[in-house]
Structure 1
Amino acid sequence: MLRRHLLLYAGGLAALGTAWAQPAPDAQKLLAASDLIRNPAQSFVLTVGLTEYRGGKQVDGNTLAIYSRPDERGGAFRTLVRFMAPARDAGKLMLKNGADLWFHDPANKATIRISPEQRLLGQAANGDVATANFAHDYRASLVGEEEVTDGERQPRRAHRLNLAAAASGLTYHRIELWIDAASQQPIKARFFSESDRLLKTAFYRRYQPQLGQLRPTETVIIDGLDPGWVTVMRFGDYAWRDIPEAWLQRDHLPRFRAE
């Protein structure tokens, strides 16, 4: 009888040891899975509304049409952004093609190169609306698993990743990202400058079925120094669309006409 109990005990320890020995999830694969939840892998269009708040009061806003197409050569998105509102900005264009970001103003027919870090509205940078593929631009490492409060103020068990920029010229030098341990949905991110200053915190929330996947339809962005400065990005009107190659060329911007 004693021998049997010892064998059962030893078997239990072995099973427990096997559970403990489970390999940690691959951080880069987790990041890629999270990317596919934020954005489809095929060409698509959507509308983004940006609203800026200061101290709880709305102070600015605009509406954009986004045309995104994955670059078959490298997996990153190429994105054309068309300004729809307010009237003073309607018709302006922004194009992300590889590492280059261009802005076109039809009023003066000028096309200039801009940086991804420049602010578009509130805490939303140019690079935030030009569809980002984190797995292409950053190298992920797993920090650990922990409980985090999501954008709906609910506790979630999450993998915490540290994302280091894989190249120069990216919008952010480093990102901390929390991904739901069960669903791989992005929950929260913190964005840092090259000097490792916290620029902003973002919460991905209001998940809804869009293009065959539950996707966050709202991102709340909070300033790194002033928590009363908030920008809300709302995503809607998702649709599959084959984006013409010509739309994604800088030389075509002065001739662009939305169809």
Structure 2
Amino acid sequence: MTFNRREFNRLLLTAAASAGATGLTVPALAAPDAKTILGQSDAIRNPQTSFVVDVHLLNYENGKLDGQTKVTTHSRKQGGQFQTLVYITAPSIDRGKILLRNGNILWLYDPKSRASVRISPRQRLLGNASNGDVVSSNLVGDYNPVLEGTETIADGDRQNRNCYRLKLSSASSSTPYSAVTFWVDAATSRPIKGKYYTKSGSLIKVAWYRSWKSQMGEVRPTEVVIADAFDPKKVTLMRMNAFRPRNLPQSWFRKEWLPRFELQGSS
């Protein structure tokens, strides 16, 4: 799919229309609880087993490509959350750098210095995508959800969806965002849209999930469109491709092992 100016403008219109959407209703008594809704959505966003996926991040400004990064993400299910190792494959200047999430700690390994530095999940990898966006996670493990009601909103393809609206509050200081408003399709449990907020309550970005394809036994979103809340001319497209199951040894997910992973590459 080509992300051209027409597509860029269409997403901006979607953002403007959805920003003013109203019609929140109190959920019916039969509605599932917030944690169940979020957990079902998590299982669609990511396989709930160890897997590898290729991710391509494309940064646009005024509809023109302004930068891109390619990574291969390795995720190992550990309890209810993931340990994640993100190997950067492009651009060449960053090739071999690794992001590692182990528990609530995020490390950046640089093969040039052979050093690992602790970093924040909220720092940006590219454009509007933060480090926390490219590491696999279950939102239900990082946030405390509350069901606010149901609401009809436009999805990433400008199709109206009847959704549960969840308010997510950060469960720890290591989460990428302090709070999230998250919409989940009431009929399919698919994630539809998220609004992400800073600690001060400022909206930092809006994201739409789209391009649904069968991957590892489930129809999953293979694109996330991320719009900058401060500058609507900036949009980042995150594309996921080739989800595949992989038996990943626990030894990979220790910062002491990262120099050895750099020698092996991302295979």
Q: TM-score, normalised by structure 1?
A: 0.90
**Superposition pairs for residues 174-185 of structure 1, below 5 Å?**
174-185=179-190
Distance (Å, rounded) in 2 between the aligned partners of 1:213 and 1:114: 33
Distance (Å, rounded) in 1 between the aligned partners of 2:104 and 2:239: 25
Tell me which stretches of 4 or more aligned residues in structure 1 moved more than 4 Å: none
Unaligned runs of 5+ in 1: 1-19
| DSSP 3-state at the match of 2:137 | coil
| Mapped pair 1:223 → 2:228 | yes
1:107 deviation in Å?
1.2
Which of 150, 156, 168 aligns to 2:161? It is 156
Unaligned runs of 5+ in 2: 1-26
Where does residue 188 of structure 1 map in the other structure? 193
Which of 125, 129, 132 aligns to 1:127? It is 132
Which of 46, 52, 59 aligns to 2:53? It is 46
1:222 deviation in Å?
0.3
Question: 1:138-160 CA deviation, whole Å, 9 max, x = no partner?
Answer: 11111111110000111111111
**Superposition pairs for residues 14-93 of structure 1, below 5 Å?**
22-72=29-79, 75-93=80-98
Question: 1:173-220 CA deviation, whole Å, 9 max, x = no partner?
Answer: 100001001001000000001101001000000110000000000000
Distance (Å, rounded) in 2 between the aligned partners of 1:30 and 1:148: 17
| Mapped pair 1:234 → 2:239 | yes
**Superposition pairs for residues 92-131 of structure 1, below 5 Å?**
92-131=97-136
Distance (Å, rounded) in 2 between the aligned partners of 1:241 and 1:86: 25
Question: 1:29-83 CA deviation, whole Å, 9 max, x = no partner?
Answer: 00000000000110000000000001111110010000001112xx111100000
Matched length: 238
Identity over aligned pairs, percent: 45
Distance (Å, rounded) in 2 between the aligned partners of 1:21 and 1:145: 9
Which of 193, 202, 208 aligns to 1:197? It is 202
**If you compute each CA radius of gyration, which structure gives the higher value, 1 or 2?**
1
1:21 deviation in Å?
7.2
Q: 1:36 corresponds to which letter in structure 2?
A: A
Where does residue 16 of structure 1 map in the other structure? none
Q: 1:31 corresponds to which letter in structure 2?
A: L
RMSD of the alignment, in Å? 1.2
Q: CA 1:60–1:24 in structure 2 vs 1: closer, same or farther (change >3 Å)? A: same
1:25 deviation in Å?
2.1
Distance (Å, rounded) in 1 between the aligned partners of 2:161 and 2:66: 32
